[in-house]
Amino acid sequence: MKYTINEAQCLGCKRCVKTCPDVFQMDGEKAKVVKAESNSEKAQMAFEDCPAGAIRQA
């Protein structure tokens, strides 16, 4: 799965970073993707748990 983050929607809650730090990291106040492609369960959990719906899958 390929992941991206819509920065305009990101709340900066760090939930994705705490769930899957291999794929998501903070860049100031917003999360960013550091490993765009991942098949990990944790990345999927971060996608599903994002309260703002800022994480996208492709």
Contact 16, 36 (CB under 8 A): no
Domains of the chain: 3-57 (3.30.70.20)
> What's the confidence (pLDDT) of residue 5?
98
CA dihedral for 54, 45, 51, 13, sign (positive or negative): negative
Q: What is the pLDDT of residues 32-54, one digit of tens each?
A: 999 999 999 999 999 999 999 99
Q: Cα–Cα distance between 37 and 29 in angstroms, integer?
A: 23
Output the pLDDT for position 45. Answer: 98
pLDDT at 38: 97
Q: pLDDT grade, residue 29 (50/70/90)? A: very high
**pLDDT given at position 18:** 98
